[in-house]
Amino acid sequence: MVRGEKGTGKSAIYSLLTTRSEDFQKRKILLIPAERPIGTPVFRELLSNSPKTENEFKDLFAEELSEKAKLIAADCTIETDLEILIPENYVSSTRERLQLYSTLDNIHDEEGWTLLPNGKVLAVDAYVPIRPFPYIPAGKNSELYNPKTGSWRSAGSTVVQLWDSAAKCGGEKVASFELGPGVLRRDGTVFYTGSNSCGAAPTAIYNSYFGTWTPGPQFPGLLGISDGPAALEPNGKVLMMASPLVFQPPATFLEWDGRKLTEVPPAPNAANDTSYYGNFLVLPTGQIMFTDFYFVSVYNPQQNEDDFDAAWAPRVIFVPDRVRSGGSYVVSGFLFNGMSQGSAYGDDVQAATNYPLVRITNDATGHVFYSRTHGHSSMGVGPLVGLVSTNFDVPAGQEKGPSKLVVVANGIPSAPIRIVVR
């Protein structure tokens, strides 16, 4: 606790403490803005009736300094600005607020996670009212998970509300608390899609390099994604499956190119689908495989195989120039996991493809073989990862002779490397 008259340097101390927040988290100490921990200035009584002794000071903060409150703070490793989003009349003390933080630290219902180029994980809060957490119809908080420290902190307001609270058409009893997927694009932005029981859903864009949110375009008509798939195409566009309101057919397929949403041809059974029926998988050919409860189909992005920025492609630094069928080898290079996880859904499906595939094509026959890859040195995405490696097992039935080897990530191949299969 820091106390001092105006102009005595309190703000400088606050600033210094804030810059060391991760160090405090490692020691399981929760930092809360001291000027407003429970919705009203905590120093108001200090100004009007300053304590004269240490015991008087302790009495003033008896509840906040109780052993129970210390225990709760010790177990809570979340650093967030959520106190501004919890109704002031819902809590009456710091102890109750810390209890809410402890609960929030373990609630991720309906949330999807997006891996960022800096290695952190982005999540948008869905505000599912799991007791003691209340129904907050206008919450817009997002969070970042840091794997190095094992802690969460706020990533700021999403500006527009992405999750479905049904605030304007029935409230908590009607709300689905769903939201759509978030897909990292190659420029470092995450295109996040929303859900809305009451009308067209919003979208938002998170810049992972600057840590800022801006509103995206609203879905046309009554469309939104209340659970549903999205995928990054090799051309840089985001393909997504939307449907009206919540869980209603028919499904509509759209692309986001960084400037606008454009409707594209639907899957064969789209008339009977709603968004949560679908799932996407980015294939090594650059196509997007789609499944629903009825069919399997493939979406062909409007591009040629080589129609992508070469800076997005894996780059091989070392691979043996001679391999044997049935042998195991190491290949190393850059961008082996691609610029993104590839596909996303939300909280129900995991179809990420941020890992390398090794493809060997025989010169004489043109037949294509895929080697099993394993033991990846990193699963990180984007240009900040650096040099990586993976193991690949050449199939026992691999055709012998001069061949071309490429490493493929999210449908984008590296430049071919000449090898000989013995």
pTM of the model: 0.76
pLDDT band at 294 (very low <50, low <70, confident <90, very high): confident
| Residue 398: closest CA among 366, 357, 360 | 360
Residues 6+ apart with CB under 8 A from 29: 73, 74
Asked if the model's pLDDT at residue 164 lies above 60, the reply is: yes
| SS3 per residue for 184-242 | ECCCCEEEEECCCCCCCCCEEEEECCCCEEEECCCCCCCEECCCCCEEECCCCCEEEEE
Q: Where in the chain is the domain with CATH 2.60.40.10?
A: 310-421
CATH for 310-421, among 2.60.40.10, 3.30.420.40, 3.30.70.1060, 3.40.50.300?
A: 2.60.40.10
Task: Return the residue matching tokens 């240490």.
Answer: 54
What mean pLDDT comes out for the span 137-165? Answer: 94
Model pLDDT for residues 356-412, shown as the tens digit of each residue: 999 999 999 999 999 999 999 999 999 999 999 999 999 999 999 999 999 999 999
Span(s) in the chain for CATH 2.120.10.80: 113-299
Cβ–Cβ < 8 Å for 35, 6: no
Please write down the HEC assignment for all residues of 280-318. Answer: EEECCCCCEEEECCCCEEEECCCCCCCCCCHHHCCEEEE
CATH architecture, domain defined by 113-299: 6 Propeller (2.120)
Is pLDDT larger for residue 191 or for residue 135? 191
pLDDT higher than 50, residue 71: no
pLDDT of residue 223: 98
* CB burial readout 216-230, b (16+ within 10 A) else e: bebbeeebbbbbbbb
Average pLDDT over residues 279-293: 96
pLDDT given at position 141: 93
pLDDT at position 201 is 98
**pLDDT digit string, tens, across residues 397-416:** 999 999 999 999 999 999 99
Range 199-205 contact pairs with CB under 8 angstroms and sequence separation of 24 or more = 199/168, 199/245, 200/224, 201/162, 201/164, 201/225, 201/242, 202/160, 202/161, 202/162, 203/160, 203/162, 203/256, 203/261, 204/158, 204/159, 204/160, 204/162
pLDDT-derived band at 18 (thresholds 50, 70, 90) equals low
Strands (E), 337-382: 343-344, 357-362, 368-374
